[in-house]
Amino acid sequence: MNFFLLSLIKAAVVAFVLLTTLAYLQWVERKVIAHIQVRMGPSRVGPHGLLQPLADVIKLITKEDLIPPYVNKLLYLAAPFFAVTMALLSISVIPFGAEIHVFGGTTWMQLADLNIGILFVLAVSSVSVYGIALAGWASNNKYSLMGGLRSSAQMISYELPLSMAVAAPLLLANTLSLRHIVEGQAGYYLGFIPRWSVIQTPMPQIFSFIIFLIAAFAETNRVPFDLPEAENELVAGFHTEYSSMKFASFFMAEYSNMVTVCSITTTLFLGGWLPLWPASAGSNFVPATVFVLAGAVALYHGLNPARRMDRLTLPVVAVVFFLIAVIFLIPALQGALLPLFWFAAKTGALLFLFIWIRGTLPRFRYDQLMAFAWKFMFPVAVLNLLVTGLMVALFS
């Protein structure tokens, strides 16, 4: 039963971290977009609005849970549940780090290492369209239906370039297991250029990476592909009729999908938990350095406060950062924490990219969206796959 116990613990840890991340991801998004638009963003609840997510959760839970009378009840209730389940499911196969030793045994920082990990991810992502489609249909509202239809068409269409883009790095990795895909990207060219899929010989997967990212934007219904929920066209689309926690579920599903997609991108293309440069060149000290620098910045602002509260809070933050930096320097913990740091850093960077694009790009028109998927993305992805296959066949 040790296996089950270990799995349960890992699942609990992942779920806790993931849900917290989701909550704060939304805070980060609001902050970043606010700064893009030169405003402050949430700043009332807690220092810098840090408690805003909590407030949101309380608000959503305590709101009245409306169920319109004309909906198809079963499907109406099942849809958000389904959406959030599917969104959280694919996280289970993503490896966060290398082998670690706990409780006298060894395990992987990954919930389940499937032989067909990447197929599992594709399967889940292909099924997750039902959440939105059914929500749109069950709401019995023409705007919701339009949103649902749009979303199913969009997700089916972008599923193809996405799968094609995934297939190309698989040719380099020669495996379907996500952990082995990451391990296949270990090592460095010339001692310092990482052998990540994006730049791996014989065929750098840079096109694949870009196509995957674009398709990922569409799959997660993010700007510039957020047609299913286009507020000004469809009155928020498929979730018009949802309120309270059911609305929150869709929200969670969207952010969870974002995290999943970024993690997969990191795993497939950016070397997963592997460091940016070799340990021999000091990559082990990067996290400590980063946190020390962050702590130093916090301390500086604490000593030169912009607001009154900062005098108190920022030094505390700085101390926490310094502590984290010290933790990262403990050799016993480094084995577990360094991979986590790198994984989180890469995924975080991608998440920032998502938010950044939301803050800057306008929405596509529907026909443009479809034409883009079928007439540009798909051919390019297929071409990339063919060329990769050829190169792999020729050079390995």
User: Does residue 244 touch another protein according to CB under 8 A?
Assistant: no
Q: Compute the distance between CA of residue 316 and CA of residue 205 in angstroms, rounded to an integer.
A: 43
In the complex, minimum distance from the CB of residue 138 to another protein, in angstroms, rounded to a whole number: 9
What Cα–Cα distance (Å) separates residue 59 from each residue in 65, 131, 243, 252, 320?
Answer: 12, 24, 11, 15, 29
Query: Which range of residues in 62-70, 130-138, 299-307, 359-367 is near another protein by CB under 8 A?
Result: 130-138
What mask of x and - would describe binding to another protein in positions 27 to 66, judged by CB under 8 A? ----------------------------------------
For residue 364, state whether it binds another protein (rule: CB under 8 A).
no
How many other CB atoms are found less than 10 A from the CB of residue 304?
10
Using CB under 8 A, which of 127, 303, 316, 323 touches another protein?
127
Q: Which residues contact 329 (CB under 8 A, 6 or more apart)?
A: 285, 288
Residue range at the interface with another protein (CB under 8 A); choices 114-122, 198-206, 283-291, 383-391: 114-122
- Which of 379, 381, 387 is closest to 203 using CA atoms? 387
Q: Which residue has the tokens 């991810």?
A: 121
Nearer Cβ to another protein (120/207) = 120
**Residues from 69 through 108 that contact another protein (CB under 8 A):** 72, 75
With contacts defined by CB under 8 A, name the span among 2-10, 105-113, 117-125, 271-279 that binds another protein.
Answer: 117-125
The site string for another protein over 132-171 (x = CB under 8 A, - otherwise) reads -xx-xx-------x--xx--xx--x--x------------
Can you tell me the distance from the alpha carbon of 298 to that of 310, in angstroms, rounded to the nearest whole number?
Answer: 9
Among 62, 115, 368, 396, binds another protein (CB under 8 A): 115
Write the CB contacts of 185 (distance below 8 Å, at least 6 apart in sequence): 173, 194, 195, 196, 197, 200, 271, 272, 274
Radius of gyration of the chain from its Cα atoms, rounded to whole angstroms: 22
State the residues that interact with another protein by CB under 8 A: 72, 75, 114-116, 119-120, 122-127, 129-130, 133-134, 136-137, 145, 148-149, 152-153, 156, 159, 176
